[in-house]
Each structure stands twice: as structure tokens, then as C-alpha cells.
């Protein structure tokens, strides 16, 4: 009898002790480190490892799961974070369909979430469910405006468009055609191709035939190189614009000579060291740039990883206020953390300056985008 | 649309079609000999292109690990079979091809500076790496279930394909690669600008078709494969091992796939998962040939290439839809023309 009591007491003590040790802040991160979005997810996963493990006197535990670019898996990961791990904050996922599907789960459990997916629908309009959701990447509209402004300033009157034949290309076409119409640019040709296509000769012939002053290629990563190479091959003389989706070293490697002189909008982080000192995103950008390069090699920085870094910045800025309201691991703390993120003002980060409000859960402005030009295989900042 | 655009589109369609021809032939070959609807065919294309790109960039090709793992798996399975039958005659051959050879490749891959080697040496090494994957795949996945119904073989083929795509991501990463062209010249013929690589693609496809025809009509192994395709049991009674026929077939399929990959990688960017879509278009062509007739499959492949090229000009958003819809009238026509034969269950 005595032994049994002792064992029970010992177990109770041990249990209590582990409970105490677990009093820390838990963050569940789901990224698309494999599957079609792997080129986004891998730098994001790398960046999670660089986030601070201790903030405001609290140990931060990051639980990272791969959702294989799959919506169902992203939802399952989120459920696991919430029910099994009892996380205080969810981060992810890399792509818009996954992030959209996760909204229901976090809203139901009342857990704040910061998305790395760029789609506007993730955070707007801020309704009862999106109340809990924030995101760090610039919206496509900010980027299309940058492109259109640059085109108008450089005397472009007519534009051709070629994009993916899926939701990505369609949403780019929507936002670009609206922005172009607003500034009086004429969209003369609209073509589509697939990420896995081995030839875009037909589409390019049509574009070259329409003789636009400039062409916008709405692709992402290395598949965006194919239309550009074919345009050059067919002797297209005009300006070529790419989107911020191509900013990774592999795109430069695959596109090579054919990409010289291409214009594209981007997050300032990609060219952080080239920015003027007065730029508000320079300090945080350079910090991230150097940390990432020292860990993963020269020329390895992409904006995708910086979305995670900035999610970490928002979290770090909101954490002290949330800690004054409640203890981590409680529903009150999660609500306080959400409120604190929504109240953030002028937080300088690698992608720009974040000022959240009850109607704006992105909080970036024109300081969050720059125009780049590809020169001798490098991204060059154009002021 | 004027005549010069039509010519350029035709040229583009023929170059793409030439690759689909090779894949369609490989699919027909594998199906007639082994009854496998060979979904992983496209993976050979992607793996050889990416292996070549890795060698060009001075990186260690992950395919070496795949060959090593495949070799070890074959050794383990053969050892089980040999012990059960007390038959040790083939031990030297099994060990030679599945243990010594992969390790020799591994040594070559790590010791030789492939970036400095010539393009032809890199291509030869790529073939040496990718081609043995075919027979290994047959031995490990298909030989144990060689007499299963077509559906089971198809399901296993899909599973192998999914596994290989996953391994491809792990071995080569998510981003695409292009390799150096074999021939960087351009020729101007009227309004056409013909890149040297396009001549290579078409020429090599034609040469390969002639070689295959010779192989099937003149060599004893080729005739053995044809006999197996005509009647599996009959061929077996004539002393043709179905296992040997299967291994040989998949070796040919792997070789055709690997050569296709090397041919197309300078004109398009290849990703770890590109193989599936290229293979699928080869499959549409093979269906046009009823998965049995080589000339019809080849003609179908050219048709797919041309259709793809012209539809990308007229209605680029619906290109894939148009290409894959082609299969519906073809199936309809075939089902009207041929009477239905119940599949033999063994």
C-alpha cells in the first residue's frame, strides 16, 4: 500500500514538473516544403530555424510540419497544432489555397494565425473568421501597381500578357488588367501557358505579332524563364517584365543571358544591401540577408523566407503586450496575442513597415516594394 | 495566321512530337511484352535530364543513390530466391550487376571531375546511371507480380511513379534545369530558324526508330521480345524466360526515356515532375495506336505534337484540354471498330 502511494506521489510530482517546464510559448508552423510549392516552402523552413528561441523572457518552441503543398494536409497539420500541441500561434502556409482552408480551423479554435501566402483573400475582407488571420507578404495588387507605374514612366503604351493557365495566372491577369486600365495602358494580347509546358512557341508568335511595347510574364520561379527565352529567340525587341514570383537564384541560372535587362517588382529584402540607408526596410532586411547568407550560402536569399522572418518580427513585437494580459497556453493569452498584433504600429521589418488595423491585417504600404532590373545575372535596385 | 507562322508552328510541333514518338514506342513495347501500363516512363526522361544537369553543374547526382539502393534491393530479393532454390549459378552475374556496378558508378561519380569532362562523356555516364534503373525496377516491383491482372500492374506502376517523383524532388530539388545544347548552331531556311538541337532531336528519334526496328527483326533477343508480345505462354514454352523479357523490355524503355531526356533538356526546362506530363502525352499517342501498333502510335505522337503547337497559338488557355480531349473520339472510334475481348485472367 505504502509503495503504491509513493509511486502515485512520484508520478504526480513528475507530471507537475513537466507541466511547469512546458509553460512556454508554442508556435505551430506549417510550410509547403515538398510538392509544387517546394521552392517557396524550403527557404521558409530554413528561416524558421533562424527565428529567436527566446523572447521577452519566454522560451519559444517552434513546431514545424510539411504540408506537401496539399490543402488537406495543411488543415490536418493545423488541427494537430491546436488540439494536440495547444499552440498559441499558427504560422503558414506557403500558398493561398492552403492558407484559405486553414482560416476556418483557427477561427473556430480562436488561435491567431500569420500566413506566408500572398493572396489577398487570406486577409480581406476582415470578417468574423479573418479576425484571427494576418499575413506578411505584399499583395499582388501592390506589385502590379509598381509594374504599371514603371511602364507608364518609361513610355509604354501597349502591353502583352502571358501567364499560367491556372488561378495564379488568372488572378494576375485580373489585377494587372485593372491597374493597366486605370493608367490608360492598352492590353493588346492575353496568352496562357502551363508550368510544365515544354514549348510556348505558339503563344509567343501571337504576342510578337501583336507588337506590344512591353510584355508581362506572370509566372513564378524557373517556369517563368521559358516565355522569356522564347520571346528573345523570336527576336521580340520590346521591354520584358517579370513578377516578384521569379526572385530566386535558380531563375537567373536557368534564364541566363536571355534575362538581361528584365524589369520586375520585388520585396526590398532581395536587394537589402543595395538600398539607400534612409530606406525604412534596410536595417531589418540587411540583418535577415546576412544571417541567411551566412547559414545557407551566398545568393541564397529569397523573399519567401523573409515572410517567415517578418512573421517572427510581428510576433516578437506583439508578445510583450500579450504577456502582460495572460499566461501562455491559455485562451486568454491567444486572444491577447491577436489583439496585440492588430495594434502593432510602424514595425520595421525586412519587407517594409507594418501598421496593422482592424480593417487591414497586412499593414504594408508603398515602402514594401521596389523595382529591380536584371544586370549581368544579378538583381539591381533601381531607385 | 500567315504561312510563316504555320511553318514555325509545324516545326515546333514536329520537334515536340519526335520526343512523344519515342515515349509512345516505349509505352507500346512495355505494354505488349509485360502488360504493364508503364506510368513511370516519364521519370526516366526527367531523371536523365536532371542527372546530366547535375554533372554539368559539378554537383553529385542523386541518381547514384537510387542505383545503389535499387542494386541492394535486387541483391536481397535474388538472395532470397537463390537460397530457396539452392541454385547458385547466377550469383556472380547478380552481384556483378547489382553490387559491383553501382559501386563502380558511385566511385566514378565522386572521383571524376564531371564539370571538366566533355559533354559526350557526361551523356554516356548519365545513360550508365539511368538505364540500369529499368531492369532493377522490373526485378523489384513487377517480377514478383508478373502474372497479376493488368489492373494490379497498373496500380503498382502508379505507385512506383508517385514514389519516384518524391525521390526526384529529394535528389534534384524543386527548381528546373536546362542542359547545354549538343549543337549550338542555327540554320535559316526561308522564314524558319532551325536550331541545331531541333535537328538533333528529330534525327536521333529517327535513328532510334530504325535501330529498334533492326533490333526486333534481326537479333535473337528482339525476336524473343516479339514472341513474348504475341503470346506469353507460347513464348515461355519455347524457352523464352518471361523475367528476362521483362528486364530487357524495361531496360529498353529506360534507355529510350533517358535518351529523350537528354535530347529535350537543352530546348526546355526540366523539373523533377516534368516527366509525368511528357509521358502522358506519349500515352495519348500510344492509345491512338491501341497500345499495340507502333506506326499508329508514332503517327499519333506527331499528331499530339502538332495539335499542341497549333492549339497553343489559337487557344493557349485550353491547350491541354484540347490535347487530352483527343483521346475521347479515338477511344470511341476504336471501340466501334474492334470487338471487345475479355481480358484473360490467369
pLDDT at A7 over 70: no
Query: Which residue of chain B is at minimal alpha-carbon distance from A164?
Result: B317
Q: What value does the mean pLDDT take over residues B86-98? A: 80
Contact between B313 and A203 using a beta-carbon 8 Å cutoff? yes
Residue A155 lies in a domain: yes
Main-chain dihedrals φ then ψ at residue B328, nearest 5 degrees: -70, -55
| Tens digit of each residue's pLDDT (9 = 90 or more) over B267-317 | 888 988 889 989 999 999 998 888 888 888 899 999 999 999 999 888 888
Query: Which residue of chain B is at minimal alpha-carbon distance from A38?
Result: B174
- Are A272 and A62 in contact, with CB atoms under 8 Å apart? no
State whether A52 and A154 are in the same domain: no
Per-residue pLDDT, A4: 61
- For residue A296, give the 3-state DSSP assignment: helix
Per-residue pLDDT, A228: 93
pLDDT at A22 over 70: no
CB < 8 Å to A258, chain B: none
Residue B325 lies in a domain: no
Per-residue pLDDT, B345: 44
Q: For chain B, say whether A246 makes contact (Cβ under 8 Å).
A: no
CB < 8 Å to A202, chain B: 9, 12, 309-314, 316, 319
Residue B183 lies in a domain: no
State whether A23 and A130 are in the same domain: yes
State whether A123 and A250 are in the same domain: no
Instruction: Count Cα neighbours of B16 within 13 Å in the Cβ-side half-sphere.
Output: 29
How close is the nearest chain A Cα to the Cα of B60, in Å?
17
Residue A299 lies in a domain: no
State whether A129 and A145 are in the same domain: no
State whether A163 and A129 are in the same domain: no
Residue B288 lies in a domain: no
Residue A110 lies in a domain: yes
Query: Which residue of chain B is at minimal alpha-carbon distance from A198?
Result: B268
Tell me what percent of the residues of chain A surpass a pLDDT of 90.
Answer: 60
State whether A165 and A249 are in the same domain: yes
Among partner residues A35, A196, A201, which is closest to B8 by beta-carbon distance?
A201
Q: What CATH number is attached to the domain comprising A184? A: 3.40.50.2300
How close is the nearest chain A Cα to the Cα of B243, in Å?
35
pLDDT at B222 over 70: yes
Residue A58: which of A240, A322, A300 has the closest Cα?
Answer: A322
Residue B7 lies in a domain: no
Contact between A203 and B320 using a beta-carbon 8 Å cutoff? no
Range of the domain at B168: 25-178+188-282
CB < 8 Å to B15, chain A: 199
CB < 8 Å to A167, chain B: none
Looking at A236, A266, A296, the residue that finishes a domain is A266
- Are A30 and A79 in contact, with CB atoms under 8 Å apart? no
Interface test with A, best of B7, B10, B56, B175 (most A CBs within 10 A): B175
Among partner residues B264, B269, B313, which is closest to A254 by beta-carbon distance?
B269
How close is the nearest chain A Cα to the Cα of B29, in Å?
24
Residue B5 lies in a domain: no
pLDDT at B78 over 50: yes
- Are B53 and B177 in contact, with CB atoms under 8 Å apart? yes
Q: What value does the mean pLDDT take over residues A237-251? A: 88
| Tens digit of each residue's pLDDT (9 = 90 or more) over B229-240 | 888 888 989 888
| Tens digit of each residue's pLDDT (9 = 90 or more) over A262-309 | 999 998 998 999 999 989 889 999 999 999 999 998 878 888 999 999
Contacts of B239 (CB under 8 A, 6+ apart): none
Q: How many domains does chain A have?
A: 2
Per-residue pLDDT, A8: 59
pLDDT at A21 over 50: no
CB < 8 Å to B9, chain A: 201-202, 205
CB < 8 Å to A194, chain B: 277, 319-320
Contacts of B36 (CB under 8 A, 6+ apart): B30, B142, B153, B154, B157
Range of the domain at A42: 2-138+304-341
Q: For residues A347 and B161, give the distance between their C-alpha atoms in angstroms, rounded to a whole number.
A: 47
| Tens digit of each residue's pLDDT (9 = 90 or more) over A208-228 | 989 999 999 998 888 899 999
Per-residue pLDDT, A78: 96
Contact between B273 and A196 using a beta-carbon 8 Å cutoff? yes
Residue A230 lies in a domain: yes
Residue A274 lies in a domain: no
State whether A51 and A123 are in the same domain: yes
Q: How many domains does chain B have?
A: 1
Per-residue pLDDT, A2: 57
Among partner residues B178, B274, B278, which is closest to A254 by beta-carbon distance?
B178
Q: What value does the mean pLDDT take over residues A312-337? A: 93
Q: Which residue has the higher pLDDT, A296 or B344?
A: A296
State whether A96 and A146 are in the same domain: no
State whether A64 and A118 are in the same domain: yes
pLDDT at A182 over 50: yes
Residue B324 lies in a domain: no
Tell me what percent of the residues of chain B surpass a pLDDT of 70.
Answer: 97
The one-character DSSP state at A256 is G
Q: For chain B, say whether A36 makes contact (Cβ under 8 Å).
A: yes
State whether A121 and A172 are in the same domain: no
Q: What value does the mean pLDDT take over residues B18-23? A: 92
- Are A291 and A268 in contact, with CB atoms under 8 Å apart? no
Residue B221 lies in a domain: yes
State whether A16 and A132 are in the same domain: yes
- Which cell is B4 given? 510563316
Residue B271 lies in a domain: yes
Among partner residues A38, A197, A201, which is closest to B174 by beta-carbon distance?
A38
- For residue B332, give the 3-state DSSP assignment: helix
Chain A (164-193) residues lying within 8 Å, Cβ to Cβ, of chain B: 165, 191-193
Give residue A252's Cα distance to chain centre: 20
| Tens digit of each residue's pLDDT (9 = 90 or more) over A78-136 | 999 999 999 999 998 998 889 999 999 999 999 999 999 988 889 988 999 999 999 99
Residue A183 lies in a domain: yes
Q: For chain B, say whether A103 makes contact (Cβ under 8 Å).
A: no
Q: For chain B, say whether A269 makes contact (Cβ under 8 Å).
A: no
Nearest-10 crossing angle of helices B220-230, B3-34: 80
Q: Are strands A133-135 and A113-115 parallel, antiparallel or unpaired?
A: parallel
Amino acid at each position: 500500500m505504502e509503495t503504491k502511494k509513493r509511486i502515485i506521489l512520484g508520478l504526480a510530482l513528475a507530471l507537475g514538473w513537466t507541466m511547469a517546464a512546458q509553460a512556454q510559448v508554442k508556435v505551430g508552423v506549417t510550410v509547403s516544403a515538398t510538392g509544387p510549392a517546394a521552392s517557396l516552402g524550403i527557404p521558409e523552413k530554413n528561416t524558421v530555424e533562424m527565428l529567436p528561441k527566446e523572447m521577452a523572457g519566454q522560451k519559444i518552441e517552434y513546431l514545424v510540419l510539411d504540408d506537401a503543398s496539399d490543402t488537406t494536409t495543411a488543415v490536418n497539420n493545423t488541427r494537430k497544432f491546436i488540439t494536440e500541441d495547444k499552440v498559441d500561434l499558427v504560422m503558414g502556409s506557403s500558398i493561398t489555397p492552403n492558407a484559405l482552408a486553414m482560416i476556418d480551423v483557427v477561427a473556430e479554435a480562436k488561435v491567431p494565425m500569420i500566413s506566408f501566402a500572398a493572396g489577398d483573400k487570406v486577409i480581406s475582407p476582415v470578417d468574423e473568421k479573418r479576425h484571427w488571420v494576418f499575413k506578411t507578404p505584399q499583395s499582388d495588387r501592390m506589385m502590379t501597381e509598381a509594374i504599371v507605374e514603371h511602364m507608364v514612366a518609361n513610355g509604354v503604351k501597349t502591353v502583352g500578357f502571358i501567364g499560367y493557365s491556372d488561378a495564379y495566372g488568372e488572378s494576375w491577369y485580373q489585377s494587372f488588367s485593372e491597374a493597366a486600365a486605370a493608367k490608360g495602358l492598352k492590353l493588346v494580347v492575353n496568352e496562357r501557358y502551363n508550368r510544365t509546358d515544354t514549348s510556348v512557341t505558339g503563344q509567343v508568335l501571337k504576342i510578337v505579332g501583336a507588337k506590344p511595347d512591353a510584355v508581362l510574364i506572370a509566372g513564378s520561379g524557373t517556369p517563368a524563364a521559358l516565355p522569356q527565352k522564347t520571346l528573345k529567340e523570336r527576336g521580340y525587341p520590346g521591354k520584358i517584365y517579370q513578377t516578384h514570383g521569379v526572385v530566386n537564384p535558380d531563375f537567373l541560372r536557368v534564364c541566363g543571358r536571355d534575362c538581361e535587362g528584365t524589369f520586375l517588382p520585388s520585396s526590398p529584402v532581395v536587394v537589402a544591401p543595395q538600398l539607400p540607408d534612409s530606406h525604412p526596410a534596410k536595417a531589418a532586411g540587411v540583418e535577415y540577408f546576412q544571417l541567411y547568407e551566412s547559414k545557407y550560402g551566398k545568393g541564397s536569399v529569397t523573399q519567401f523566407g523573409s515572410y517567415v522572418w517578418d512573421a517572427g518580427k510581428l510576433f516578437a513585437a506583439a508578445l510583450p503586450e500579450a504577456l502582460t494580459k495572460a499566461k501562455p497556453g491559455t485562451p486568454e493569452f491567444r486572444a491577447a496575442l491577436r489583439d496585440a498584433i492588430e495594434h502593432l504600429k510602424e514595425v520595421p521589418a525586412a519587407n517594409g513597415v507594418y501598421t496593422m488595423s482592424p480593417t487591414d491585417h497586412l499593414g504594408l504600404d508603398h515602402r514594401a516594394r521596389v523595382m529591380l532590373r536584371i544586370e549581368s545575372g544579378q538583381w539591381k535596385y533601381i531607385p | 495566321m500567315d504561312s510563316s507562322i504555320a511553318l514555325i508552328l509545324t516545326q515546333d510541333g514536329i520537334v515536340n512530337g519526335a520526343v512523344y514518338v519515342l515515349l509512345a514506342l516505349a509505352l507500346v513495347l512495355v505494354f505488349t511484352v509485360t502488360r504493364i501500363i508503364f506510368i513511370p516512363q516519364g521519370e526516366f526522361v526527367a531523371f536523365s535530364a536532371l542527372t546530366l544537369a547535375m554533372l554539368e553543374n559539378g554537383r553529385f547526382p542523386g541518381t547514384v543513390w537510387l542505383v545503389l539502393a535499387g542494386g541492394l534491393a535486387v541483391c536481397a530479393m535474388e538472395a532470397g530466391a537463390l537460397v530457396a532454390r539452392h541454385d547458385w549459378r547466377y550469383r556472380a552475374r547478380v552481384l556483378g550487376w547489382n553490387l559491383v556496378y553501382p559501386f563502380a558508378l558511385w566511385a566514378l561519380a565522386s572521383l571524376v571531375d564531371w564539370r571538366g569532362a566533355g559533354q559526350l562523356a557526361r551523356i554516356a555516364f548519365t545513360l550508365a546511371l539511368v538505364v540500369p534503373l529499368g531492369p532493377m525496377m522490373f526485378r523489384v516491383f513487377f517480377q514478383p507480380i508478373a502474372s497479376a491482372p493488368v489492373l494490379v500492374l497498373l496500380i503498382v506502376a502508379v505507385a512506383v511513379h508517385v514514389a519516384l517523383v518524391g525521390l526526384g524532388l529529394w535528389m534534384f530539388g524543386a527548381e528546373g534545369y536546362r542542359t547545354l545544347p549538343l549543337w549550338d548552331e542555327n540554320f535559316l531556311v526561308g522564314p524558319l530558324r532551325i536550331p541545331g538541337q531541333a535537328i538533333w532531336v528529330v534525327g536521333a528519334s529517327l535513328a532510334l526508330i530504325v535501330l529498334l526496328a533492326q533490333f526486333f527483326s534481326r537479333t535473337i533477343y528482339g525476336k524473343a521480345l516479339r514472341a513474348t508480345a504475341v503470346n506469353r505462354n507460347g513464348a515461355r514454352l519455347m524457352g523464352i524466360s518471361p523475367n528476362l523479357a521483362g528486364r530487357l523490355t524495361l531496360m529498353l524503355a529506360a534507355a529510350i526515356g533517358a535518351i529523350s531526356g537528354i535530347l529535350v533538356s537543352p530546348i526546355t526546362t526540366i523539373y523533377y515532375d516534368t516527366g509525368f506530363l511528357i509521358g502522358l502525352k506519349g500515352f495519348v499517342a500510344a492509345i491512338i495506336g491501341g497500345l499495340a501498333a507502333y506506326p499508329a502510335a508514332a503517327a499519333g505522337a506527331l499528331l499530339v505534337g502538332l495539335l499542341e503547337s497549333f492549339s497553343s497559338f489559337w487557344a493557349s488557355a485550353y491547350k491541354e484540354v484540347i490535347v487530352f480531349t483527343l483521346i475521347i473520339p479515338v477511344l470511341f472510334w476504336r471501340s466501334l471498330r474492334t470487338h471487345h475481348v475479355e481480358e484473360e485472367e490467369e
